[in-house]
Amino acid sequence: MSDIIFIKGLLIHARHGVMEHEAEVGQRFVIDLELSIDLSESSRTDKLADTVSYSDVVATASAAFKGHNYYLLERAAGAVADAIFVAFARIKAVKVTVHKPHAPIAAIFDDVGVVIYRTRP
């Protein structure tokens, strides 16, 4: 069984999408992360060195998400997962949810987005 670190509601302005105005103006995205990690050591020692820093995870995810203009949310979410695995060896799996609340869809909707789940290769 694995423990979970979660970060919900990370707001990021980025320029992802297939429509030209999305790349020009950009929009707000919301990211939720669930990180599978063994927290048994840090739960005993109370030392940051025995876990991962939430702040560092947010910085890594934000940089990966904003680092390139992607057409698809699937690719943007994949870039976040890839960057987290590169930066944090302790993380065994990651679930990345990307919400695009202002997607250019001709309908009334609450939310749209993607969820990807990746395990360490």
* Residues classed as catalytic: 100
- The secondary structure element, H or E, covering residue 77 is helix 73-87
Cβ atoms of 65 and 29 within 8 Å: the answer is yes
Alpha-carbon 76 to chain mean position: 9
7: helix, coil or strand?
Answer: strand
β-pair type (27-37, 3-14): antiparallel
By C-alpha distance, which of 83, 118, 71 is closest to 97?
A: 118
